[in-house]
Structure 1
Amino acid sequence: MKEIMKYQVNTLKKLGFIDNNFISVDATPVKANTKLNNLKCFASNKFSKKNHPKSDKDCKLGVHTANNSMKIKINDNSNNKLSKKYEFYWGYKNHVICDAISGLPIDEYTSTADINEISTLTKFLSSTNSWFSLNGSYVIADKGYDSKSNHNFIKNNLKGLAFIAINKRGKKTPKLTSTGNIICQGGLAMHKDGRQYFDSYIKQKFCCPFKKSKDDSLCPCKHEKYFNGRKNRGCVRYISKGTDYRASINHESKFFKTIYSLRTESERYNSRWKKLNNERAYVKNINSVSNLNTVGHICLLTTAIAAIKSGNSDKTRSLSGLKRTA
């Protein structure tokens, strides 16, 4: 079935409806056929690794973020805080490379739900590149794929450009002045105080503007570090800036945002694929789940080929629309 899908993709490539100019990578969850994924199952330990489903020995515990930017408020006894909206599930993931213009799949594979997307991107792109050239491609992906190694692989191995959303990974960005100086807790602009150069980043040091002052009243917030009894008093802060390809990308530029907006084609394709009832597995091992997932992609590619060859190229992404033309 993998070979059938490759044949279909190459057929669409010859017809001029799939190319490698803009490709989008994404993964969608596939829930295993187990009662532990049922919302009506009230077992307290249903998402514990020690309580593995007996009905499917291959599935793994995964987490699905409902939206990359969606946040919900969680109330506890101490304070109110914001947290990402997510859910745990037992199952698998289907990873898909799409043509971001036509919205059609190029390649796919199924993994268990515990596999992290960030660690599999280079292998996935290499495997696809062995039979469908990705050289010079603009590779688009969400922040789940953001890493230096992924960026460097796209730039150096594929000779392409990466359009991957930045993942701040919980790092807090300090308040800065218009000139890039850190603003301290007392509201003062800290002074630059030298740099440290490393292999892949530069570390900029900032110091208190009154570090050599002998006046104890100058610090607006009376910070404890201002009274450290040393020759150089006050706070010291650092900002690290990378020097690699990933750090050189301007994520706020119009060019980046325009290309990155094409990633919505992956979301649209995943939505069409889920309508084939592939979001929930009805078989109970990874080989069977992988086969059913591949069959789903074959069905959607078949629809596209049938639409093109019947003279209805505007219906390549709509099975119901193609049926109405018959």
Structure 2
Amino acid sequence: MYQHPLFDLEEIFDKPLRRYELFFSVIDLSIFDKVKSVGRRPISRAAILRALIFKNLKTIASLSDLSAELYERPTLASVLGFSPEDKPIPVERFSSYLKNTSNSLLQKVRISLVRKLIETEVIKGDYLSVDSCPILANVKENNLKTSVRYRYLKDRPPKNDKDCRIGVFPTFTSGKAKVEFFWGYRNHIVNDAQSELPLAEVTLAANVRGTSVIIPQLESLKDALSLNPCAVIADSEYDSANILKYILNTLGARPRISRNPRRGVSLNTDLNSSGIPVCIAGFEMLSRGIFYDRKQNRKRHKFVCPVKGSKKFAKDHPYCPWLHPKFVEGSGCYRYLRVDSDIRSSIDYGSESFKRDFNRRSSSERVFSRLLSILMQKPSVVGLGATANLCTISHITVLAVAYFSSFVKEPDKIRFVKSFLPNF
């Protein structure tokens, strides 16, 4: 049986809960007090959210540990908004909250904090950086020590989490990149590169590409927060013509997205004086006409191997001098030339301005480093809805610390997620 300490921790550590009480007072959670229900008085939903934020600040690993912490410290539970009748708060209350609460409600709390940070000029929004982070699902398939017959078969999702999907993430060992698979989700963010604070976030299944998320996120920032960025920064995963056009034409910003090498295919093709591609054997390739590529939304001119494409040419040159594998096993080499205007031709790749702006992309890595330090990547729940809510609460925690530091006139500590508030 647990025995309460003889002395109150508040008196021993110079009343640290007063700082927590002030911290939670700057977070507007009035939206959770508007829900009415019949029957016995429910546990305050705002108090549950404060408890989950406290869990992040203290890096408490599980919901059961959080429940025990609140039971052992009734003064803390009172500061978070729980009434004495709520003791002890069962774990099921927290898991039910994460599972059944609409993520849109948490997003409203997060956006309100972003607006306050913009009003206090902590966030300027001149440079936006885009990135995503893997969130491993809490399933045995992700534990390589377990014996699973079909570990990474996409048609057989884990039994205890039907929402998660297979994703990949790179790891670097001894300077070599290695791709690893996992079951889970991805948290996609847009952050302010100067303040290193997240502006938009969404958690989706791991098989959803970031290219399908970035435009809606930038659109919401433009409409909801009226941001007019100077540049949008991202890695080569987001090198898409549609994304580049949106950044240039709609946002009026500079796209600072590194070029995607397209699986190692050379970006330059040897052309003769007439603009016709020349293969590695030195032959002028044969035209097969211009067509509209609906999949990539562009006009392309196709050229094929002259030995395979022309009987007349094949009489003089029956074989490829290089014995290219495509000639031996297939229909020979082919090349595509884009004949309409390419949006990438208007981007100053390699310039000092591009390099200077692109160097700000490392801010996304530092944002995720702080989010992962409060256990965002180790969810204690299963399911897309609960995991998405857990990730949003992690973002709320980071933003709340940033706003509170500016509120108490300590702007140099806006990124002190774990050390700004007292640890007792």
Q: Tell me, yes or no, if structure 1 residue 43 matches structure 2 residue 141.
A: no
| Structure 1, 283-292 or 269-278: larger mean CA deviation | 283-292
1:27 is aligned to: 132
2:410 is aligned to: 312
1:18 is aligned to: 123
The answer to which structure has the higher strand fraction is 1
Retained in 2: the 8 A contact 1:304–1:317?
Answer: yes
**Aligned partner of residue 361 in structure 2, secondary structure:** helix
What is the correspondence of 1:124-143 to structure 2 with a 5 Å cutoff?
A: 124-143=217-236
The answer to which structure has the higher helix fraction is 2
**Aligned partner of residue 375 in structure 2, secondary structure:** helix
Distance 1:301 1:156 in 2: 30
Q: Tell me, yes or no, if structure 1 residue 268 matches structure 2 residue 366.
A: yes
What is the correspondence of 1:144-223 to structure 2 with a 5 Å cutoff?
A: 144-173=237-266, 185=280, 200=298, 222-223=321-322
Q: Deviations over 1:240-264 (max 9, x none)?
A: 3562323432322221111111010
Q: Deviations over 1:142-192 (max 9, x none)?
A: 111111111111122222221111112214216869x99988646x7x789
2:337 is aligned to: 240
Q: Tell me, yes or no, if structure 1 residue 89 matches structure 2 residue 182.
A: yes
Report how far residue 271 of structure 1 moved. Answer: 0.7
2:51 is aligned to: none
Distance 2:382 2:336 in 1: 50
**Aligned partner of residue 401 in structure 2, secondary structure:** helix
Report how far residue 89 of structure 1 moved. Answer: 1.0
Report how far residue 24 of structure 1 moved. Answer: 0.7
Sort the Cα spacing of 1:222 and 1:116 in 2 relative to 1 into closer, same or farther, 3 A.
closer
| Structure 1, 129-138 or 263-272: larger mean CA deviation | 129-138
> In structure 1, what residue type is equivalent to 2:112?
Y
Q: Tell me, yes or no, if structure 1 residue 62 matches structure 2 residue 167.
A: yes
> In structure 1, what residue type is equivalent to 2:231?
Y
> In structure 2, what residue type is equivalent to 1:265?
S
What is the correspondence of 1:112-123 to structure 2 with a 5 Å cutoff?
A: 112-123=205-216
**Aligned partner of residue 125 in structure 2, secondary structure:** coil
Q: Which ranges in structure 2 are unaligned for 5 or more consecutive residues?
A: 1-105, 293-297, 307-315, 325-331
Name the % identity: 31
Retained in 2: the 8 A contact 1:136–1:160?
Answer: yes
1:52 to 152, 157, 164: 157
**Aligned partner of residue 144 in structure 1, secondary structure:** helix
Retained in 2: the 8 A contact 1:152–1:246?
Answer: no
RMSD over aligned CA atoms reads 3.7
Distance 1:158 1:52 in 2: 39
Q: Deviations over 1:13-58 (max 9, x none)?
A: 0111112210011110111111111121232421112321111122
1:298 is aligned to: 396
Distance 1:205 1:39 in 2: 48
Sort the Cα spacing of 1:202 and 1:295 in 2 relative to 1 into closer, same or farther, 3 A.
same
Distance 1:264 1:65 in 2: 16
If the length of structure 1 is used for normalisation, what is the TM-score?
0.77
2:67 is aligned to: none
**Aligned partner of residue 135 in structure 2, secondary structure:** strand
2:383 to 257, 279, 285: 285
If the length of structure 2 is used for normalisation, what is the TM-score?
0.60
1:230 is aligned to: none
Retained in 1: the 8 A contact 2:152–2:182?
Answer: yes
Number of corresponding residues: 297
2:112 is aligned to: 7
Report how far residue 202 of structure 1 moved. Answer: 7.1
Sort the Cα spacing of 1:289 and 1:193 in 2 relative to 1 into closer, same or farther, 3 A.
closer
Distance 1:309 1:27 in 2: 30
Higher CA-based Rg: 2
1:108 to 192, 198, 201: 201
Q: Which ranges in structure 1 are unaligned for 5 or more consecutive residues?
A: 73-83, 209-215, 226-234
1:80 is aligned to: none
Distance 1:279 1:296 in 2: 10
> In structure 2, what residue type is equivalent to 1:165?
S
Retained in 2: the 8 A contact 1:312–1:322?
Answer: no
**Aligned partner of residue 225 in structure 2, secondary structure:** coil
Q: Deviations over 1:306-326 (max 9, x none)?
A: 2112222111111345347xx
Distance 1:155 1:71 in 2: 36
Sort the Cα spacing of 1:134 and 1:204 in 2 relative to 1 into closer, same or farther, 3 A.
farther
**Aligned partner of residue 5 in structure 1, secondary structure:** helix
